[in-house]
Structure 1
Amino acid sequence: MLKIGVLGTGHLGKIHLKCIQLASEAYELIGFFDPNDEAAAAAAAAYSIKRWTDLDALIQAADVIDIVTPTVTHFELARKVISHGKHLFIEKPVTNTLEEAEELLALAQEKGVKVQVGHVERFNPALLALGGTPLEPMFIEAHRLAVFNPRGTDVSVILDLMIHDLDIIQSLVRSEVRSVSASGVAVVSDSADICNARVEFENGCVANLTASRISMKQMRKLRLFQKDAYISLDFLDKEAQVVRMYDRPEQLPDDNRMELETPNGKRYIHLSAPQTEPVNAIKMELESFAQSIQEDARPVVSLEDGYRALKLAYQIIEQMEERARTTAQG
């Protein structure tokens, strides 16, 4: 069993504390560090766990540290943890800048520690339900809309919301980015609250993403289009649908199928809804990290994955800002 300490007891930090206690077969929760006395007292009382006032002492006592603090603090804390030779789970976005993430990559490799980034949507039942479904998307649409919440507005909507889809898309496409275009608007925050981006990959795949934190409704959907198939994922309702086209009726089940006349003759469409299993996604991602440590395997969402998502996020931010400057000058 791995000894784990948590840094940060804000909204998400409290959820992590609870999930770690539920993952008792993987972890022994030895306590937390939070410089905010009020938040720390509330967490210690609510979860009956020790508050450490010496950060270095907590890191030394743990096998794993879980960083659930504001993004601007990630780098310094992560560097300290990795320098102590401890494994690290760190919430997304991994750092505030690409340079910081690059330094952590080098340091983690030098120290030989495992790092997993908290892109929790990788553990959403809708995505997990696809299982062995062959995926080679050539066009992707992503919509991630949220009702305004002041929490999280310390970063742009790209780093707050869209980065989830950037991580998922790059895990599915597995091709280098060729070009990026984007536009966005700051409505109620100092940084962008709504953004649309178009990402083209070297293999020809195109992804069109929209993220907003000033919507009147919640939406988290991803649609994948590929040769002979359309796949719809609803991360909010945790549902998946697969529509696949076949040349011959004997290739598909009798249920949920229909004929389609095409210029090349009849083809056959089959609709399926892969079964989704309810999961505690945060508990699951933390357990998967423990497994990667114990089996000396690559984490499901590695530090490299977190860096790639951050890199693409900053490419989008750069293009969005360039478009805004061009528009202002014109």
Structure 2
Amino acid sequence: MNRTPSARPISAGVIGVGSMGENHARVYGELRSVDLACVSDDDDEVAQRVAREYDTDAVAFDTVLERCDVVTVAVPTSVHYDVVSKCLDAGVHVLVEKPIAETVEEGRALAEQAADAGLVLQVGHIERFNPAVQTVTELIDDLEVISLEAERLGPPLERTSLGNVVSDLMVHDIDIVRAILGGQPDAMTAMGTDDGQYTTATLQYDDVVASLTASRVTQKKVRRLTVTARECLLEVDYLQQSVLIHRNSYPEYVVDDGKRRYRHESVIERPRVDNGEPLRHELEAFLEAVRTDSEPVVTAEDGIAALETVQTISALVDEETPKREVQAR
């Protein structure tokens, strides 16, 4: 049964309160017209600590489904399907952290289940809600895009329970490129080094090419997107939430004190970016879709498409298929 609330506050819960799930609990607790009803985790000690921190209850999974209108599911990917499916069975709207499921088939089954139940199923591709990305998305409609280049680099992490670098990091840029260009790529190539911890991929969309790099072995944290268009060059810094537009770039030779020298100049614009926490924007959009019974910004179909591309790129960098090109679906 669909328990979409009307005038009363939305009752929210978080299933899985590791580092990401705890942040969801924090933001739910900060939002107006939302009651953080409870949290749940297989590790009861962790659940109790988070519950104390955000003034709510630590409860069993079944109790979350009884108390809540909406939930965030931030459990390991291997159990996404089972947990999300049970939430949907209970009539609860779901925001599931990326990826939507472990396999494309599971993702499609969840999408069908949510549609049949009339429930919102949003996938947590958080960079869609980065204010800098939202600014660029508005600008790009008026541009003739030639190429995109994304870099998502960083040093090794202490955490050991990480997916491969494509599913854990590059997936964000796969989703952003798809949101900008629309549809799935026509073809892909990819390769990796250092056991796949540094991976590059090239995605072909008609006459536009997207180059993606993800790394866990780079000793500097970089989150950057560059869009080359005929009219200008856009530079996006995800971390700084900033956008630069380079226009009218031209080279020239000038005479200075009798000496001839070369210079290259361009006009740089800095459009206004309404900075804010992407997670807050993401949860606000999710709750708005629930309140208005509308399609979420990041749909289950978006999550499935990103997962399909992740799996293709992962296969390309696997030891059994090095440097091999495959045609995308």
Q: Does 1:60 align with 2:58?
A: no
Give the secondary structure class of the aligned counterpart of 1:96: coil
Task: Describe the superposition over 1:173-220 as per-residue Cα deviations: whole angstroms up to 9, x where unpaired.
Answer: 013311111111344xxxx3111001111x321111100011100001
1:243 Cα shift?
2.2
Q: 2:175 aligned with 1:167, yes or no?
A: yes
2:40 pairs with one of 14, 28, 33: 33
1:156 aligns with one of 157, 164, 168: 164
Q: TM-score by structure 2 length? A: 0.86
Q: Is the Cα contact below 8 Å between 1:241 and 1:271 reproduced in 2?
A: yes
> 1 CA distance for matches of 2:183 and 2:80?
28
Question: In 2, Cα distance between the equivalents of 1:276 and 1:44?
Answer: 34
- Give the fraction of aligned pairs with identical amino acids, expressed as a percent: 29
User: CA contact under 8 A between 1:198 and 1:209: conserved in structure 2?
Assistant: yes
What is the deviation of 1:102?
A: 1.3
What's the counterpart of residue 77 of structure 1?
83
1:105 is the counterpart of 2:111:
yes
Q: Which residue of 2 aligns with 1:253?
A: none
1:274 lines up with 2:310 in the alignment: no
| Paired residues of 2:107 and 2:304 also in contact (CA < 8 A) | yes
Of the candidates 309, 313, 321, which is equivalent to residue 312 of structure 1? 309
Alignment RMSD, CA only?
A: 2.0
Structure 1 residues 96 and 32, CA gap change in structure 2 (3 angstroms): same
State the shift of 1:129 in Å.
2.8
Structure 1 letter corresponding to 2:271: P
Amino acid at match of 1:320: V
Structure 1: stretches of 5+ with no match in the other structure: 246-257, 262-267
- Aligned partner of 1:249 in structure 2 is none
Q: CA deviation at 1:151?
A: 2.7
TM-score by length of 1: 0.86
* AA aligned opposite 2:207: G
State the Cα distance separating 1:138 from its structure 2 match: 2.3
- 1:137 Cα deviation after fit: 2.3
Measure how far apart 1:165 and its partner are.
0.3
Q: 1:325 to 1:204 in 2, by over 3 A?
A: closer
Offset at residue 278 of structure 1 (A): 2.4
1:255 matched residue in structure 2? none
Q: Which amino acid aligns with 1:232?
A: E
1:122 aligns with 2:125: no
Q: Name which of 287, 290, 297 aligns with 2:287.
A: 290
2:327 is the counterpart of 1:324 = no
Name the counterpart of 2:204.
200
Change (3 A) 1:224 1:131: closer
The 4+ residue runs of structure 1 with deviation greater than 4 A are 258-261
The counterpart of 2:234, out of the listed 218, 225, 231, is 231
Q: Which amino acid aligns with 2:304?
A: Y
- Residues of 1 paired with 2:266 and 2:157: CA distance? 42
Aligned to 2:32: 24
**Could you report, residue by residue, the CA deviation over 1:222-259 in whole angstroms, capped at 9, with x for unpaired residues?**
101122221110102211011235xxxxxxxxxxxx76
